[in-house]
Amino acid sequence: MTQMQPTVVIGGGLAGLTAARALRRAGVGVRVLEAAGEVGGRVRSRVLDGFTLDRGFQVLFTAYPAVGRELDLARLDLVTLPPGAVIMSPGGRERVGDPVRDPKSLPTTLRARTFSLKDKLLVGKLAAELSGVPAAHLLLGDDEPTGDFLRRFGFSERAIGRFFAPFFGGIFLKRDLSTSARLFRYYFRMLLSGRTTLPRGGMGRVTQGLAEGLDVTLGARVEALSAREDGVTVRLADGTLEASRVIVATDPPEVARLTGVSAPSALTGVGSTYLYFAATRPLDDERRLLLNAEPGVINNAIWVSNVNPLLAPEGQHLLVVTVLGVPEDDAALETAVRAELGAWYGMAAAALRLLAVERIPFAQFAQPPGFAAHLLPHRTPLPNVVIASEATSMSSIQGAMESGEQAAACLLGRGGRARGA
């Protein structure tokens, strides 16, 4: 009987879609149940007033191993962000690039006073040290907060505060550099060895592409699971569904609710907020990420339409501002953000039109040193139920996709990690 029932994947984010595709490749009948009205989870885009707004600002590193294995990059029609960033402060701006990959950035990078000569040499030394190590090895070994690692490596407080804190704050969604140095080294390596990209149609194209050809039911929120040795009953608001096996690929708190396997409190959620501004003329022709050198409300911002004009309607431009945390009051937030944009752009900032504010209370989970010891297992105590979630790996596109691959392998009897393994 159970042979005829499909394998059900709960959650149509990166982890669930990757797992479903891997099962389908292996000839397994699979059905995806997604609570929302569209697939994608944390990787989605929507259209508002003709602007394509990604759900928060995130990028696709082509060097992620799972991205290379699972995505058709040619079909995604990627645009590449120039390496480096612009360090913004009321007193002016400094552009730092990667002179090896972008020789035109050499003069401004050499002039940048955020980095002392020693800092500049240390960047080269770090790059040389990391480029020789296989990426997966960077996630092993000694761990400490990223800030401690940078100080021990010899970087100046100025470089750490004005560059590393906002740049990696934008990646880890925490500016205090308390995130695991293993992850810092891993991301540094991803930045060095691949391209930092955005699909021309928005980040949502990544998950839409993965969902193509899959049997996906939208608006299907799973309320509970009842697992037995011969199958699993999946309870939805409007009835039940029998599955031979289930992969739970939701966000970590929902994984805990459905399977009883909870993430230790060490893996708490980290939230972030995004303000999308429209402009009839760009206040900046910069394509790089803009970093707020001062600890303020804005952590980073980007004129995404300078990188990818298709995200804005003809004659319009799009600025996305990242604020770390989830401040509640829209009006107070807008006022504070406008004040800081005013310090960058003067009176011209007043012409920016706020299109939307997006709060994402659980954007990633916190990854302090030693976080790997708290990751979830793929296998659960429930028969025929396994977990695919970034919480089995790391809070990233790579982590989510890899966990989908491994959960599928686990169901196919080819691996998967048990708790503590």
Ligand X SMILES: Cc1cc2nc3c(=O)[nH]c(=O)nc-3n(C[C@H](O)[C@H](O)[C@H](O)COP(=O)(O)OP(=O)(O)OC[C@H]3O[C@@H](n4cnc5c(N)ncnc54)[C@H](O)[C@@H]3O)c2cc1C
| Beta carbon nearer to ligand X, 67 or 122 | 67
Task: Note whether 41 binds ligand X by CB under 6 A.
Answer: yes
Q: How far is the CB of 83 from ligand X (least distance, A)?
A: 15
Q: How far is CA 23 from the centre of its chain?
A: 24
- State the number of binding residues for ligand X (CB under 6 A): 36
Binding mask 169-208 for ligand X (x = CB under 6 A): --x-------------------------------------
Closest to 215 measured CA to CA, from 416, 407, 20: 20
Do 342 and 290 form a contact (C-beta atoms < 8 A)? no
Q: Parallel, antiparallel, or unpaired: how do β-strands 85-89 and 289-292 relate?
A: parallel
DSSP state of 5: S
Q: How many helices (H) and strands (E) does the chain have?
A: 14, 20
Task: Note whether 56 binds ligand X by CB under 6 A.
Answer: yes
| Beta carbon nearer to ligand X, 53 or 87 | 53
Residue 349 tokens read as 């900032």
| Beta carbon nearer to ligand X, 59 or 138 | 59
- Pick the piece of the chain touching ligand X (CB under 6 A) from 91-99, 157-165, 246-254, 341-349: 246-254
Closest to 319 measured CA to CA, from 296, 293, 349, 343: 349
CA distance 293 to 274: 18
* SS3 call for 74: helix
Task: Note whether 33 binds ligand X by CB under 6 A.
Answer: yes
- Pick the piece of the chain touching ligand X (CB under 6 A) from 39-47, 91-99, 104-112, 174-182: 39-47
| Helix residue ranges, H only, 173-232 | 181-193, 204-211
Q: How far is CA 258 from the centre of its chain?
A: 24
Q: How far is the CB of 70 from ligand X (least distance, A)?
A: 12
Candidates 249, 297, 301, 323: give the one binding ligand X (CB under 6 A).
249
266-285 residues near ligand X, rule: CB under 6 A: 272
| Beta carbon nearer to ligand X, 109 or 273 | 273
DSSP state of 179: S
Residue with tokens 């190590």: 133
Task: Note whether 14 binds ligand X by CB under 6 A.
Answer: yes
Task: Note whether 73 binds ligand X by CB under 6 A.
Answer: no
Task: Note whether 255 binds ligand X by CB under 6 A.
Answer: no
Candidates 45, 197, 316, 396: give the one binding ligand X (CB under 6 A).
396
372-391 residues near ligand X, rule: CB under 6 A: 389-390
- Pick the piece of the chain touching ligand X (CB under 6 A) from 55-63, 65-73, 128-136, 408-416: 55-63
CA distance 280 to 317: 6
Task: Note whether 405 binds ligand X by CB under 6 A.
Answer: no
CA distance 351 to 330: 18
Q: How far is the CB of 395 from ligand X (least distance, A)?
A: 5
CA distance 73 to 84: 22
Dihedral sign from CA coordinates of 52, 168, 176, 42: positive
Residue type, 36: A
Candidates 10, 86, 349, 366: give the one binding ligand X (CB under 6 A).
10
CA distance 61 to 81: 10
Q: How far is CA 41 from the centre of its chain?
A: 11
Candidates 7, 45, 52, 58: give the one binding ligand X (CB under 6 A).
58
Q: How far is the CB of 220 from ligand X (least distance, A)?
A: 6
The binding site for ligand X (CB under 6 A) comprises 10-16, 33-36, 41-43, 56, 58-59, 171, 221-222, 249-251, 254, 272, 360, 363-364, 389-390, 395-400
